[in-house]
């Protein structure tokens, strides 16, 4: 399930470059106001599988009518569009109720007015489908240097990016209690991807934006579509939108 939120305002707003952390805090606060038990479960525990924990939601970057770079951040001209998705219907119901009841959202010191909240249907995910990122996808691996484990962020040019992406989806399916299918997924990146560096709670995080074809088990793809592809989804990474399917695009990366 996916919500589209349209925000409006009389004047342009300016948000810091690392503004996704403001949206992250807003989502948790909005869910907690309507459903405290769910908000506490998401924040404190989430859903566990294979030594990993997942919050099972993701959200996009903000898409304003116009945007301009400024020294202190990004100036955005309303209306501003934003998406949030999750396989947990109760989560989105709680968020939508808070948005519609309060009618405003406070991001740091910036207030936005809720113009509308729309429920969007999921696209058909069978076949081979084209996706485009609405927020950067983060995939990393651990590298041991001496006694310390360091994270290295992978790029879509590396086959391990796609193998780790699929393994992540399978763990999410397991965490939700879904039967994990043996059928492998197939990925094909399209064109040149853009690298984006963010600071998340004092940590530098690198993600990538672009398009890719994906095919295979539609339940796994639906988890990616609703809960996010890759890591740090609840911090605003890994949201995609889906386009047409195709039986003619040749795959590059197949299997875990």
The residues assigned a catalytic role are 28, 43
Handedness of CA 27, 28, 34, 35 (dihedral sign): positive
Rounded to 5°, the CA angle 228-99-95 comes to: 40
- How far apart are alpha carbons 218 and 42 in whole angstroms? 25
- How far apart are alpha carbons 91 and 82 in whole angstroms? 16
- How far apart are alpha carbons 106 and 18 in whole angstroms? 16
Q: 188 and 254 in contact (C-beta within 8 Å)?
A: no
Q: 2 and 93 in contact (C-beta within 8 Å)?
A: no
Q: 176 and 47 in contact (C-beta within 8 Å)?
A: yes
């Amino acid at each position: 399930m996916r919500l589209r939120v349209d925000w409006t305002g009389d004047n342009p707003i300016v948000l810091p470059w690392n503004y996704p952390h403001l949206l992250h805090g807003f989502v948790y606060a909005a869910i907690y106001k309507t459903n405290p038990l769910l908000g506490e479960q998401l924040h404190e525990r989430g859903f566990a599988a294979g030594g990993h924990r997942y919050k099972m939601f993701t959200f996009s970057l903000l898409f304003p009518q116009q945007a301009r770079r400024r020294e202190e951040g990004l100036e955005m001209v309303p209306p501003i569009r934003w998406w949030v998705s999750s396989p947990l219907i109760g989560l989105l119901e709680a968020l939508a109720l808070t948005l519609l009841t309060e009618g405003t959202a406070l991001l740091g010191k910036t207030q936005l007015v809720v113009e509308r909240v729309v429920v969007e249907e999921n696209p058909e995910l069978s076949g081979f489908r084209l996706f485009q990122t609405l927020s950067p996808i983060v995939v990393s691996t651990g590298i041991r240097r001496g006694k310390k484990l360091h994270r290295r962020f992978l790029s879509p040019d590396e086959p391990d990016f796609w193998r780790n992406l699929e393994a992540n989806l399978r763990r999410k399916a397991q965490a939700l209690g879904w039967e994990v299918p043996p059928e492998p997924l197939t990925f094909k990146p399209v064109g040149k991807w853009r690298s984006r560096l963010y600071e998340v709670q004092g940590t530098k995080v690198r993600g990538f934006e672009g398009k890719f074809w994906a095919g295979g088990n539609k339940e796994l793809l639906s988890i990616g579509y609703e809960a996010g592809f890759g890591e740090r989804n609840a911090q605003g990474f890994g949201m995609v939108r889906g386009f047409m399917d195709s039986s003619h695009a040749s795959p590059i990366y197949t299997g875990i």
